[in-house]
Structure 1
Amino acid sequence: MSVIYSTLTAIINRVSDEFHESFLFTAIFSVLSFIEDKWVNSYFKSLYPNENFLSFLNKNEILKNQLFHPLIVLFLFSLFLILSINPPSTSLVITLIIGFVAFFIGSAVLPRYFLNNGSENILLFKKKDIYSIGFCLMLVSIAFFFISVASVGGIPLIKPSIRYLLKPAFTMPVFLIIPGTCLIASAYLKDFQDGEITRSQARFRFLFLLLIDCAFLLLLGYRTPLLAAFLIIIIIGFYGNIVSLWEVVVGALIGVGAIIGIGYFRSLGEMAITSSTNPFYTLQSRADFTLHVLNLLDFIGGNFGVTHGQLLASSIPGSDLGPRMMVGKLIAWRTEVTVTPTLIGQMVADFGKAGVFVEMLILGFTLGIGFKLMQKTKNFFYIGIYSLIITYSILGVETGILDIQVLLYFTIAILIYLIDLVKVEY
Structure 2
Amino acid sequence: MEYIRSTCRRLEGHHLFLILTSLFIVLTGVSYYTGTLVLLSALIFYISFVVGKRLYYILGLDEGDREIYKREYTFGLLLMNIGLLFLILDILWAGGIPLFDPTSKRFLSPLYTMLSRLLILGWAIVIASNLSLDKVRVVLYSLIFAAVVMLLGYRTGVVVLLTSTLFVLYYSNRIKNRELILFVLGIFLLLLLLSLIRLKVVGSEGIPLLSRMDLTMSVLDIIVHNFNGVFNGYLLYCAIYSYLGMAPGPRTVIANSLGIQGVTITPTIFGEVIGDFGILGVIPYFAILGISMGLLYKIAENSKGIYLGVYAVILSYLLVSIETAILDLDVIMYFILGFLLCIYAIVKKYRSC
TM-score category, normalised to shorter length: 0.7 to 0.9
Counterpart of 2:11, as a letter, is L
Offset, 1:258 = 4.0
Q: Residues 163 and 220 of structure 1 are in contact (CA less than 8 Å); yes or no, is this contact kept in structure 2?
A: yes
* Correspondences of 1:361-380 after superposition (within 5 Å): 361-375=287-301, 377-380=302-305
Task: Give the number of the structure whose alpha-carbon radius of gyration is greater.
Answer: 1
Offset, 1:127 = 2.1
Stretches of structure 1 that go unaligned for 5 or more consecutive residues are 1-57, 193-200
Give the aligned partner of residue 11 of structure 1. none
Give the aligned partner of residue 66 of structure 1. 10
Cα separation, 2, equivalents of 1:110 and 1:180: 26
Q: Which of 88, 92, 99 does residue 31 from structure 2 map onto?
A: 88
Offset, 1:121 = 7.2
Q: Residues 45 and 286 of structure 2 are in contact (CA less than 8 Å); yes or no, is this contact kept in structure 1?
A: yes
* Correspondences of 1:101-120 after superposition (within 5 Å): 101-116=43-58, 118-119=60-61
SS in 2 for 1:329: helix
Q: Residues 122 and 423 of structure 1 are in contact (CA less than 8 Å); yes or no, is this contact kept in structure 2?
A: no
Offset, 1:249 = 1.3
Q: Residues 150 and 157 of structure 2 are in contact (CA less than 8 Å); yes or no, is this contact kept in structure 1?
A: no
Give the aligned partner of residue 230 of structure 2. 306
Give the aligned partner of residue 6 of structure 1. none
Give the direction of change, closer, same or farther, for the CA distance of 1:120–1:80 in structure 2 (3 Å limit). Answer: closer
Counterpart of 1:414, as a letter, is F
Q: Residues 81 and 287 of structure 1 are in contact (CA less than 8 Å); yes or no, is this contact kept in structure 2?
A: no
TM (normalized to structure 1)? 0.73
| Runs of 4+ displaced beyond 4 Å | 61-64, 120-126, 264-271, 422-426
Cα separation, 2, equivalents of 1:218 and 1:114: 37
Offset, 1:418 = 2.4
Please give the per-residue CA displacement for 1:87-142, whole angstroms capped at 9, x wherever unaligned.
Answer: 3252x245324413321231123542443354377896762221222111112112
Cα separation, 1, equivalents of 2:198 and 2:88: 29
Cα separation, 2, equivalents of 1:423 and 1:269: 52
Offset, 1:244 = 3.7
1:345 aligns with 2:271: yes
Offset, 1:207 = 3.0
Give the aligned partner of residue 182 of structure 1. 124
Cα separation, 2, equivalents of 1:123 and 1:413: 19
Aligned-residue sequence identity (percent) comes to 28
Give the direction of change, closer, same or farther, for the CA distance of 1:180–1:110 in structure 2 (3 Å limit). Answer: closer
Give the direction of change, closer, same or farther, for the CA distance of 1:244–1:208 in structure 2 (3 Å limit). Answer: same
Give the direction of change, closer, same or farther, for the CA distance of 1:97–1:129 in structure 2 (3 Å limit). Answer: same
SS in 1 for 2:168: helix
Q: Residues 115 and 421 of structure 1 are in contact (CA less than 8 Å); yes or no, is this contact kept in structure 2?
A: no
Cα separation, 1, equivalents of 2:200 and 2:344: 53
Q: Residues 389 and 410 of structure 1 are in contact (CA less than 8 Å); yes or no, is this contact kept in structure 2?
A: yes
Give the aligned partner of residue 272 of structure 1. 204
TM (normalized to structure 2)? 0.87
Cα separation, 1, equivalents of 2:160 and 2:19: 18
Q: Residues 328 and 338 of structure 1 are in contact (CA less than 8 Å); yes or no, is this contact kept in structure 2?
A: yes
Offset, 1:271 = 5.5
* Correspondences of 1:148-163 after superposition (within 5 Å): 148-163=90-105
Give the direction of change, closer, same or farther, for the CA distance of 1:169–1:402 in structure 2 (3 Å limit). Answer: same
1:165 aligns with 2:107: yes
Give the direction of change, closer, same or farther, for the CA distance of 1:122–1:401 in structure 2 (3 Å limit). Answer: farther
Give the direction of change, closer, same or farther, for the CA distance of 1:333–1:272 in structure 2 (3 Å limit). Answer: closer
Give the aligned partner of residue 254 of structure 2. 327
Q: What is the root-mean-square deviation in Å for CA atoms of aligned residues?
A: 2.8
Please give the per-residue CA displacement for 1:368-407, whole angstroms capped at 9, x wherever unaligned.
Answer: 11222234x2533332222121111111111011111111
Q: Residues 145 and 171 of structure 1 are in contact (CA less than 8 Å); yes or no, is this contact kept in structure 2?
A: yes
Give the direction of change, closer, same or farther, for the CA distance of 1:127–1:65 in structure 2 (3 Å limit). Answer: farther
Cα separation, 1, equivalents of 2:18 and 2:95: 42
Q: Residues 210 and 229 of structure 1 are in contact (CA less than 8 Å); yes or no, is this contact kept in structure 2?
A: yes
Give the aligned partner of residue 325 of structure 2. 400
Offset, 1:240 = 1.5
Q: Residues 157 and 220 of structure 1 are in contact (CA less than 8 Å); yes or no, is this contact kept in structure 2?
A: yes
SS in 2 for 1:71: helix
Q: Residues 300 and 349 of structure 1 are in contact (CA less than 8 Å); yes or no, is this contact kept in structure 2?
A: no
1:143 aligns with 2:85: yes
Q: Which of 168, 173, 182 does residue 236 from structure 1 map onto?
A: 168
Give the direction of change, closer, same or farther, for the CA distance of 1:423–1:268 in structure 2 (3 Å limit). Answer: closer
**After alignment, is 414-423 or 144-153 more displaced?**
414-423
Q: Residues 123 and 419 of structure 1 are in contact (CA less than 8 Å); yes or no, is this contact kept in structure 2?
A: no
Counterpart of 2:254, as a letter, is V
Q: Residues 102 and 358 of structure 1 are in contact (CA less than 8 Å); yes or no, is this contact kept in structure 2?
A: no
Q: Which of 192, 207, 221 does residue 295 from structure 1 map onto?
A: 221
Counterpart of 1:219, as a letter, is L
Give the direction of change, closer, same or farther, for the CA distance of 1:329–1:139 in structure 2 (3 Å limit). Answer: same
Q: Residues 98 and 357 of structure 1 are in contact (CA less than 8 Å); yes or no, is this contact kept in structure 2?
A: no
**After alignment, is 110-119 or 148-157 more displaced?**
110-119
